[in-house]
Every structure is written in structure tokens, then in C-alpha cells.
Amino acid sequence: QKEVEQDPGPLSVPEGAIVSLNCTYSNSAFQYFMWYRQYSRKGPELLMYTYSSGNKEDGRFTAQVDKSSKYISLFIRDSQPSDSATYLCAMSESKSTFGDGTTLTVKP
């Protein structure tokens, strides 16, 4: 079993929809939780990182961490076609462990 499991998708939503992306993990030692966006043929781009349980908001993006359930989520409000990409969750204790990504398509 992988340390980090990510909802595989793919996910297709209409423009303006709220998107929920989710990961679960098994390693209690993870301290930092990150979300990356990766466009085709590009390296991952950091969207947000958080340390504690709770919510962290940045514009249209909200990251949620529930350490007791070992569950993290990324919510995207008012999704745009430019949000179409693969979203990767990652968790770190000393090295980063990534999920396999969820591919999102936002249709105009």
C-alpha cells in the first residue's frame, strides 16, 4: 500500500464549479502538506503548503488538513479553464512523498 493515496480521477467539471481534490495518507510522521499543479510537459508548481490541521485559504484555493483522519483536500472555487491540469498532493517529514495526481479538466 502506498503511503499517499490520491483520488485518481480524471475529473471534468463545467466552468464556475467548485472542485474538491482529496488525498489520504498512512504515515503519521508527515508534518507538512503541499499541493502542486502540473501542466503537461512542465514541472510541478507549488500552490499551497500547510503545517497544521485546519483550513488555509489563498484566493480561489482552500487547503484543508485533518491529521486525525489522515486526510487532506484542496478546494477550487469558481474553477476556470486555465485550472485544467494535474494536481498533486505531497507530504513531507524529511523528504516529500507525492500522490499520483488527479487530472482536472474545466470545460468552458
Partner 1 sequence: ETGVTQSPTHLIKTRGQQVTLRCSSQSGHNTVSWYQQALGQGPQFIFQYYREEENGRGNFPPRFSGLQFPNYSSELNVNALELDDSALYLCASSLDLMNTEAFFGQGTRLTVV
| 100 touching partner 1, by CB under 8 A | yes
| 104 touching partner 1, by CB under 8 A | no
Q: Which stretch binds partner 1 (CB under 8 A): 14-22, 46-54, 56-64, 72-80?
A: 46-54
Contacts of 67 (CB under 8 A, 6+ apart): 52, 53
Contacts of 105 (CB under 8 A, 6+ apart): 10, 11, 12, 13, 84
Please give the residue ranges that form the binding site for partner 1 (CB under 8 A).
4, 6, 31-32, 34, 36, 41-46, 49, 51, 88, 90, 92-101
